[in-house]
Structure 1
Amino acid sequence: MTPRSVDGDARVAEASDWYARMRGAEAADDRAGFEAWYADPENARAYREIEQVWNTAGRSSLRNKPPGRQTSARWKPLAAAAAIALLLLGVSLLSAGSPVLPEQAPANILALASANDERRAWGLADGSSVLLDGGGALAVEYSGAERRIRLDRGRARFVVAHDARRPFVVLAAGTRVVARGTVFDVEAGNTGAEVTLLEGVVDVSAANASKPATLNPGERIVAKDGSAGIRPALADTARWTEGLVVTQRLPLAQLVAEANRSPGARIELADPALGALRVSGTMRLGDPRLADKLAATLDLAVVREPGGIVRLQARSF
């Protein structure tokens, strides 16, 4: 795949977003904005590329679609955008002789990892895809009976090819997720795991649970400290692959930790007490001016240091 320029990546992201929105419940309301955007020939070209990618993927998924519950109208466009993002990013195929194969690992096991400031995507041998967020690590082990992924740390999105003979299983922080041709996120933390379903069906078995819990699209389950509960997915949670985060009184420390998983300058807080400040709004985590925007919102000062570190600190009066 030919590397794209930064502008090209932004244009493809916009095209992916428009493609999903024009297939959503509010397409009519967005029509005028879409037509104005599409009038640019470069935008139109990017949109047609997205159509071609999705039409190819759509024909494949229809052939392999398992019976079960339908994706809700709210989550269908987000699931479409999720799959498109993986199809565009998945340029490293996991096959025999791949450079990511650990030297001493058996041939059926692959260990994958991403640096703290990058997201990496791979296409798997069965047609599934995985997008690994910054600082993540996982192991892939396929056998004739099961397709198993062990998420050791971080967050990942899976677009799963249906195979009734071999279940697709993700293990993370004592939690077991069994998918059936679907799109979902898993995050492995120090004390548990979180699973968010975008499309299809997944069964989640938390540690010490008496039976699996089945998620509907638009739901998430948080398994922590031996307990688990199903909750509605957070607003726009499906868009983390685009580097977007929607916050409602989110602690600054948590937002900074999330931003530092994305490519770009590293943000640090001069005083840990600043981490308790609350932030609301929609932000692009890879925005090179994110620190400046946070400083303006919270009345902080910005200090840029060697090595790409941006420090937020209280203003001196």
Structure 2
Amino acid sequence: MTDNSLSQAQDEAITDAAAHWCMRLHAIDCTAEERLAFEQWHDAHPLHAFEYEAMLEIWDVAGGLPQPTTLVAPMVRAKLAMPWRTFGIAATVCAMALPLAAYSGWNLGWLPNSYQHFEANDNVRQVTLSDGSQVELNLGSELTFSNYKDQRRITLKKGEAFFSVSHDTEHPFIVKAAEGRIRVTGTQFNVWIYEDQVRVNLIEGSVLVSSNDAVAGDGLRLEPAMQASYRRGDITPRISQTYDNDNSQAWRSGKLVLDDLVLTDALPLINRYLSKPVMVADHSTGSIRIGGIYNIKELNNLVASLPKVLPVYLTRNKDGNPVLNSIPQQAPKS
């Protein structure tokens, strides 16, 4: 986002101010007066809000850096291959928050030389990463890409993505999803995440899947037509075989396929498209089965129609979420 009415000097001043506020708001001694001043600055111009959000993205990347223990010399700023604005943001944050790492972060593998952020809201979106890899994002999905000296790192924050990864054995491609990770060098695979659930489907090549970064080792290997799934806190992922009629990628054609699933399994697939997730009232409701092919842009209509096709009725909980309740079966007359 740019404003053609501002000079480059004014633009850079906004970037510097965004870096300052990012630092102060993360500081332990930040005062209430400072927070009020920040809110006034933030709301004063749309570009202020944009620059601050961009600064937070870079701050998240820098937050994982190790703390240097020795002085690095000579103190020469590493020239990172970023657009001038992104580089300016990263350099400003690092120069203020981690001055030693800012000078040699790339060579030490601490800082990326390329950083990208992508979101898909109302439409499926296809993007190209700076390493040449292709990513297709499902509705409501968000991810970031950071290219480090020794690895390429994706963080899938929410939603679903299909990856066609450029082959590079020297720079593995790592996708972080919940507490786990998927490690590849070049392949095609799909990653779905909803709340604490993650599912990985391999199409081509091979990947290593770990459900918990705290557990030593590279994880379990998937071959084509295999699937791994895990929840937050799982020590190891669950591995299963997929078949020719696997419909995990139907979303790429705008469809959601529910193949005779119980509601407990179907609702996470439906809810990730909804602003208000649908709940089930009890176990018996969750065991009711549902099938069909649905347009992913019209799933709100599906919720309203469920009482017409299933033995359920809708209520709402105190948070306004729709709740499915099974209709009790009448006992047969004697």
Alpha-carbon distance change, 314 to 167 in structure 1, aligned in 2, over 3 angstroms: closer
Q: Partner residue of 1:238?
A: 249
Q: Find the aligned partners of 2:118 and 2:254 in 1 and give their Cα distance.
A: 21
Query: Given the alignment of the two structures, is residue 183 of structure 1 paired with residue 185 of structure 2, yes or no?
Result: no
Q: Partner residue of 1:37?
A: none
**What is the CA distance between 1:159 and its match in structure 2?**
0.8
Alpha-carbon distance change, 261 to 229 in structure 1, aligned in 2, over 3 angstroms: closer
The answer (yes or no) to whether the contact 2:124–2:137 under 8 Å persists in 1 is yes
The answer (yes or no) to whether the contact 2:135–2:162 under 8 Å persists in 1 is yes
**What is the CA distance between 1:229 and its match in structure 2?**
2.2
Q: Partner residue of 2:160?
A: 155
Q: Using structure 1 for the length normalisation, give the TM-score.
A: 0.53
The answer (yes or no) to whether the contact 1:203–1:215 under 8 Å persists in 2 is yes
The answer (yes or no) to whether the contact 2:177–2:198 under 8 Å persists in 1 is yes
Q: Find the aligned partners of 2:224 and 2:256 in 1 and give their Cα distance.
A: 19
Q: Using structure 2 for the length normalisation, give the TM-score.
A: 0.51
Q: Partner residue of 2:129?
A: 124
Q: Partner residue of 1:139?
A: 144
Alpha-carbon distance change, 257 to 147 in structure 1, aligned in 2, over 3 angstroms: same
Q: Find the aligned partners of 2:323 and 2:117 in 1 and give their Cα distance.
A: 34
Query: Given the alignment of the two structures, is residue 298 of structure 1 paired with residue 285 of structure 2, yes or no?
Result: no
Q: Partner residue of 2:290?
A: 279
Q: Partner residue of 1:213?
A: 220
Q: Find the aligned partners of 2:279 and 2:115 in 1 and give their Cα distance.
A: 42
**What is the CA distance between 1:218 and its match in structure 2?**
0.9
SS class of match (1:286) = helix
SS class of match (2:252) = helix
Matched pairs, number: 212
Alpha-carbon distance change, 219 to 110 in structure 1, aligned in 2, over 3 angstroms: same
Could you tell me which amino acid in structure 1 is paired with residue 220 of structure 2?
A: A
Unmatched tracts of structure 2, length 5 or more: 1-80, 92-112, 315-320, 328-334
Measured on the aligned residues, the alpha-carbon RMSD in Å equals 3.9
Could you tell me which amino acid in structure 2 is paired with residue 140 of structure 1?
A: F
Query: Given the alignment of the two structures, is residue 227 of structure 1 paired with residue 236 of structure 2, yes or no?
Result: yes
Higher relative contact order (CA 8 A, sep 6+): 1
**What is the CA distance between 1:141 and its match in structure 2?**
0.5
Task: Between 153-162 and 106-115, report the one with greater CA deviation.
Answer: 106-115
Could you tell me which amino acid in structure 2 is paired with residue 227 of structure 1?
A: T
**What is the CA distance between 1:192 and its match in structure 2?**
5.1
The answer (yes or no) to whether the contact 1:168–1:179 under 8 Å persists in 2 is yes
Q: Partner residue of 1:258?
A: 269
Q: Find the aligned partners of 1:110 and 1:231 in 2 and give their Cα distance.
A: 33
Work out which of the two has the higher radius of gyration on C-alpha atoms and give 1 or 2. 2
**What is the CA distance between 1:97 and its match in structure 2?**
4.4
SS class of match (1:258) = helix
**What is the CA distance between 1:114 and its match in structure 2?**
3.2
Alpha-carbon distance change, 102 to 310 in structure 1, aligned in 2, over 3 angstroms: farther
Q: Find the aligned partners of 2:189 and 2:279 in 1 and give their Cα distance.
A: 36
Q: Find the aligned partners of 2:264 and 2:87 in 1 and give their Cα distance.
A: 35
SS class of match (2:257) = strand
Could you tell me which amino acid in structure 2 is paired with residue 241 of structure 1?
A: R
SS class of match (1:171) = strand
Alpha-carbon distance change, 185 to 209 in structure 1, aligned in 2, over 3 angstroms: farther
Identity of aligned pairs, percent? 27
Alpha-carbon distance change, 98 to 266 in structure 1, aligned in 2, over 3 angstroms: farther
Alpha-carbon distance change, 152 to 205 in structure 1, aligned in 2, over 3 angstroms: same
SS class of match (2:249) = helix
Q: Partner residue of 2:49?
A: none
Q: Find the aligned partners of 1:111 and 1:237 in 2 and give their Cα distance.
A: 24
The answer (yes or no) to whether the contact 1:199–1:217 under 8 Å persists in 2 is yes
Could you tell me which amino acid in structure 2 is paired with residue 221 of structure 1?
A: A
Q: Find the aligned partners of 2:87 and 2:265 in 1 and give their Cα distance.
A: 33
Could you tell me which amino acid in structure 2 is paired with residue 298 of structure 1?
A: L
SS class of match (1:178) = strand
Unmatched tracts of structure 1, length 5 or more: 1-94, 303-308
Q: Partner residue of 1:109?
A: 115
SS class of match (1:188) = strand
Alpha-carbon distance change, 275 to 144 in structure 1, aligned in 2, over 3 angstroms: same
**What is the CA distance between 1:296 and its match in structure 2?**
3.7
Q: Find the aligned partners of 1:171 and 1:145 in 2 and give their Cα distance.
A: 16
